[in-house]
Structure 1
């Protein structure tokens, strides 16, 4: 409850800050919406030349993309640590973090959160609703709970991967371009993995499991029974990857010796 209280206080202060510049917030939301619209247009352009993509219809791809946006929005809101190396290690702000009686990773997450990114989840739900209505999908009473578990699992996968990458900074404070590269790789998870080579499919399933963020959990709601096992593994994979990342982070913190020359 102490951590939830801290989160709530940070959230209130964050909203006060963002609402001070309402026009800036509105422009940012519109730019995110435009970016998502461009990706959706890309899908429509692809299907203007072919009715199916490796056995997947246009509406099914749209549904996967909409599902992908929901856990990605949670990740973007709470795991915005792409500049951890430069801000906290190179500039020495990690020293300030470690003087406070609360877990260091939790503090970094709170300081770097961007709650306006959650707006992407609304867009994702809208796309899912449209695609699902076109496909004639039905919802059972337990589906919202399964949806929530899979969304949280997908967000934890993203968080686990990027926290692990940020933790590398404890061993090497040199700037690296691995974060932007990983963001680009993560985008592969919003398309069916069977359109890729089997090596890429293996990597997206077991090494960098971004397929569990979009296509695998979506397969359950789309009735793709051949992937049900992967779909229900999503929460477990998310828990494992996030746990591993926290362990790596803790080991890095133990190694950290403070800023200096």
Structure 2
């Protein structure tokens, strides 16, 4: 209950701060939506030249992209730790975090949240409904529950990977450019993995499992029987990677010795 209370207090303070500059908030929301629209246009342009992509139709690809946007929006709202190395290690702000009686990762997540990114989830749902209606997909009573489970699993996959990357800073506190590269790799998860060669498919499934954020869980709703096993592995992979990331984080915090020179 204490952590739940702290969460809502952080959210309240965040909303007060953001609403002080409403124009800036609107511009950020608009830019995020524009970025997603550009990616969708790219998919449409590709399918102007081909009807199918390795057996996947235009509307199926669009549906996968829409599904991908939902967990990605939740991740972007609460796990903005791309500057963890420079802000918290190099500049020493982790010293401040560690003086408080609350888990350090929980504090950093709430300090860096950007709730306006949640609008990306709305866009994702709209894209899914559009593509689903064109595909004639039927919704069963269990689909909403499975959707929530798969989305949370996808969020944990993304969070686990990026928390583990942030943990590198505990052992090597020099500035690093791994984060931007990993964000680019993560975008491969919004396309069917079988359009890639076997090596990339293996990496996106078991090493950097971004495929569990988009194509694998979305394949269940598309009725792709051959991917059902991977679909139901989504929450398992998410829990494994996130649990591992928290363990590595705790070990890194034990090793941390402050920002003194």
Q: Same fold (TM over 0.5)?
A: yes
What corresponds to 2:245 in structure 1? 245
2:143 maps to what in 1?
Answer: 143
State the match for 2:213 in structure 1.
213
**How far did 1:240 drift?**
0.3
Aligned-pair distance for 1:224? 0.1
Other structure's SS at 1:233 match:
helix
| SS across alignment from 1:258 | coil
Equivalence for 1:74? 74
Post-superposition CA distance 1:196-228 (Å, at most 9, x none): 001000000000000000000000000000000
Residue 38 (structure 1) shift: 0.4
**Partner of residue 193, structure 2:** 193
Please give the TM-score of this superposition, normalised by the length of structure 2: 1.00
> Structure 1 length as normaliser, TM-score?
1.00
Q: Give distance in 2, aligned partners of 1:123 and 1:4.
A: 27
CA distance in 1, matches of 2:95, 2:126: 43
- Which residue of structure 2 lines up, in the alignment, with residue 111 of structure 1? 111
Paired residues in the alignment total 261
Match of 1:134 in 2: 134
Match of 2:168 in 1: 168
Listed one character per residue, the Cα deviations across residues 127-156 of structure 1 (whole Å, up to 9, x for unaligned) are 000000000001011110000000000000
Aligned CA RMSD, in angstroms, stands at 0.4
Structure 2: how far apart are the matches of 1:158 and 1:117?
A: 15
Which runs of no fewer than 5 residues in structure 1 stay unpaired?
none
- Paired with 1:29 and 1:102, the residues of 2 have a C-alpha distance of 31
The one-character-per-residue Cα deviations of 1:6-28 (angstroms, maximum 9, x if unpaired) are 00000001011111111111111
- 5+ residue gaps, structure 2: none
1:88-127 alignment runs, 5 A limit: 88-127=88-127
Please give the alpha-carbon distance, in whole angstroms, between the structure 1 residues aligned to 2:98 and 2:17: 25
Deviation at 1:164, TM superposition (A): 0.3
**For 2:64 and 2:171, how far apart are their aligned partners in 1?**
37
How far apart, in 2, do the equivalents of 1:144 and 1:3 lie? 27
